[in-house]
Amino acid sequence: MELAETVERVWDEILTEMSINPDLLAMPPGQNKLDVYAFKDRSPDWAGKAYYGGLIVSSPDRRILFDVIPIDSEGLESTIKHELVHVASESLLHSGGLDEPPWVSVWFFEGVAEVVSRGTGSGAITGQDHFDYLTSNYGHLNPVSYQSDEGIEGGANAYIEYHYPMRRLAVEYLFDDAGYDVPLSEATALLVDVARGTSFDDAFADRIGVTVAEYENQFFDLMEDYLPERSVPIVLAPIGLIILSVSLLGAATAATLWSNRSAAGVTAAEESTAPVRTRGSTIGFAAWIMVISVLSLGVFVIGIYSISVSWGLSGLGQVSGMAVMIGYFVGATFAINWAIRSRDTASPNAWLIPLATIIGAAVTAVAIVLITALL
């Protein structure tokens, strides 16, 4: 019941946003309602699929991550909206009564669904930093050049991480007031034109005011002028990672020096009762502290960098991830300093205290996975 109500509400939103006249929507013969199938106990490689007259999506009560974490309700609704845009588009394309439904270039077909649903993949490209990150990793693959999904380039992850965000960006530019500033209703009109026999290229030129070839040739130059320099605040960008890491490393070094200086006041009586340290044990302890320190800094840097380039995370998700990683690093620094001071005061726990940083790394990893799944 919950899923049916969501589908009905989202369907009405799409008809309004895209200015679709319900009388233009063609349904399969003998069908007057959308078919909606939900899966709960299986995990396909896709989040949802649309077809002429219906869609397949996750059940709202589905759980992920070893059947423990509830599925993200906002993410599910976004997926439902994306697939319903496809359903509406297919219905419009069948409305012309042609023997075969006409073909629409995949970048436009998917891009419209991404724009209306506000994206379901790896996050919208809202800054030149994200755009440059993608092109540096996958190359300058022009989304407007793809008429179908055949021959997709860039490797196994490119489809979700590169092509979906790029398709959304390419279509977003058409309707943004900082781009071609065409009303979204023209996307509907374009589909109706194609359904009545006009080629996609001709319908695009008529409705958008520029040819597909011209848009393809100008795409990267247009995006350079269109996108702001940064999509996230400087502290959440890789350069912010470097500044943050250096600052915290400096603070950790200062704290260690302070701890050693404070521990230097051990009395003669305490020294006389302290166990005798061999040169080997001193070198071993120093090596142990070095290993733990490198591990802690490595976990921190890798974690912060991973979060800073997780473009699909919400702002809250990125800030939460950063807070968790900083908390881990501060805790690891205190543990290491405490271990050094315990060694100087002859505490038998000096070797055991640094193990807390390993436990902390595991807890931090679980926290980051949960943040990524839920935010």
- Residues 17-25 have a mean pLDDT of 95
Spell 5-19 as b/e; 16+ CB within 10 A means b: ebbeebbeebbeebe
Average pLDDT of the residues in 245-258: 67
More confident call, 37 vs 268: 37
- CATH number for 2-226: choose from 1.10.390, 3.30.70, 1.10.287, 1.10.3430: 1.10.390
Would you say 354 and 333 are in contact if contact means Cβ atoms under 8 Å apart?
Answer: no
What is the rounded average pLDDT for all residues in the chain? 84
Residue-level pLDDT at 174: 97
Tell me the pLDDT tens digit for each residue of 321-362: 888 888 888 888 888 888 887 877 777 788 888 888 888 888
The predicted model gives 1-26 an average pLDDT of: 93
CA–CA gap between residue 44 and residue 81 (Å, rounded): 19
Domain ranges of the chain: 2-226, 234-374
Per residue in 190-243, pLDDT (tens digit) is: 999 999 999 999 999 999 999 999 999 999 999 999 999 887 666 666 667 667
On the question of pLDDT at 249 being above 70, the answer is no
How do residues 105-152 score in pLDDT, each as one tens digit? 999 999 999 999 987 667 889 899 889 989 998 999 999 999 988 878
Whether 262 has a pLDDT exceeding 60, the answer reads no
The CA distance from 218 to 222, in Å, is: 6
Q: What angle do CA 78, 79, 83 make, to 5 degrees?
A: 120
